A and B are shown apart, each in its own frame.
Chain A
Amino acid sequence: MNELELVERAKTGDTKAFEELVKLTQEKIYNLGLKILGNRDDAADILQETYIKAYENLPKFEGKSSFSTWLYRIATNFALMKLRKEKYKKISIDEIKKSSDENYKLEISDWSNSPYFQYRNEELKEILNNAINSLPPKYKTIFILHDIEGLSIGEISEILSLSIPTVKTRIHRSRLFLREKLSEYFKKKGNSNEM
């Protein structure tokens, strides 16, 4: 049975069909929570809240988007609520705008071939991880949905009820902000090819 048939059955009260849907999608939802929130306890909460809400709202699901996209939407909203309470110090929207809009003025170095750029460089990983966590909640979520999970801009626009240009701008700004954070590290190391 495919997703659509299972949804139709679940809507008529077939709990076996609903459980089948949970089994098919739970890993995706759990990992999305884990990526956005960074720990198993919160990911487990998101997982439960998502399927309880999905079960309760199933009669209202009209199938305008796929069942998975609908679940992502529920999970993302719960994750965003939790993310807003996080202890990480967030940067302001102005700061993120500045780092992307004024990029062209800055001194630029190409560190893409720096000897410090290694996938095993733990210091670099920590810098990037902290930078991702400092993104404003919606920016972080969009960045993860697009660049980590590989969701399309159209899907993200549906999930977060944002226009396509807004999603695109936020992806772009997040990337440039993160790039700048890594650039600061390489600048400190002084081992990239300064121009």
Chain B
Amino acid sequence: MKCREIIKLLSEYIDREIEKEEREIIEKHIKLCKRCESILHTTEKTIFFSRTLYKNEKIPKKIEKSLFYQIRIRYKK
């Protein structure tokens, strides 16, 4: 497989969405190709780093109160 085809499969490789056979081809290629190895590593880091940007938070009480108010006024209709 050429670099171009390997790169096309990288996300599926990261997500473990590919067959064993293709996985082995990619792993073999990456051992020999610094360029594809770099793309794989930096893509994985990009994903992990993206996760640090987002944090879950509790719903502010005011927003929750207003949500239930909006729902309840519809019960009467």
8 Å CB contact of A176 from B3, B43, B50: B43
0/1 per residue, A40-57, Cβ < 8 Å to B? 100110011001100110
Is B4 positioned at the interface, with any CB of A under 8 Å from its CB? yes
Interface centre among B11, B52, B57, B72 (most CB of A within 10 A): B11
- What distance in Å separates the Cβ of B39 from its nearest Cβ neighbour in chain A? 6
- Taking a contact as CB atoms under 8 Å apart, the answer to whether B50 and A148 are in contact is yes
- What distance in Å separates the Cβ of B37 from its nearest Cβ neighbour in chain A? 7
Instruction: Please name 6 further chain A to chain B contacts, defined as beta carbons within 8 Å, in addition to the given A48-B66, A168-B17, sorted by A numbering.
Output: A26-B67, A104-B35, A111-B45, A112-B42, A125-B52, A147-B50
- What are 12 sample pairs from A and B whose C-beta atoms fall under 8 A apart? A22-B71, A43-B63, A47-B67, A48-B67, A103-B39, A104-B4, A132-B50, A144-B54, A147-B50, A153-B17, A176-B43, A195-B38
Could you tell me which B residues sit within 8 Å of A by CB distance?
A: 3-4, 7-8, 10-12, 15, 17, 34-35, 37-39, 41-47, 49-54, 56-60, 63-64, 66-68, 70-72, 74-75
